[in-house]
Amino acid sequence: MNVSPESFPNAPTDWDIETAKATAQAEGITLSNDHWELIRALQEYYTKVEFPHLRQIKDALDEKFHSRGGMKYLYEIMPGGPVAAGCRLAGLEVPAGAIDKSFGSTA
């Protein structure tokens, strides 16, 4: 996968690849092509939906990554939650409900 600024046309204006790499390193994530694809997918989704909701994001990601196992696969590569951690890496606002510290769960 090409990891250049041009390969992320829907990135927030204040986001860059180096920031994503630093965030990943701080969270103990080694970025692979699938991580970059998740970042790109989240950035694209956020440009299409005015108010992204957790369930809709999870459904969209499950569909996009279906051939690899959907959300189950994404939890394997993003144990901190593919939506929560993915949004942090993509420079996006984490949707409400993606992190519930009272239950110790992440989406």
- Residue 6: phi and psi, rounded to 5, are -70, -25
* Residue 56 within a domain: yes
State residue 11's pLDDT score.
Answer: 96
Domain count, the chain: 1
* Domain of 65, in residue numbers: 32-95
Q: Are 83 and 95 in contact (CB under 8 A)?
A: yes
One pLDDT digit (tens) per residue for the chain, 107 residues: 668 889 999 999 999 999 999 999 999 999 999 999 999 999 999 999 988 899 999 999 999 999 999 999 999 999 889 999 999 999 999 987 776 655 545 66
State residue 5's pLDDT score.
Answer: 86
State residue 106's pLDDT score.
Answer: 61
DSSP 14-70: T--HHHHHHHHHHTT----HHHHHHHHHHHHHHHH-SS--HHHHHHHHHHHTGGGTH
* Residue 76 within a domain: yes
The count of residues in the chain is 107
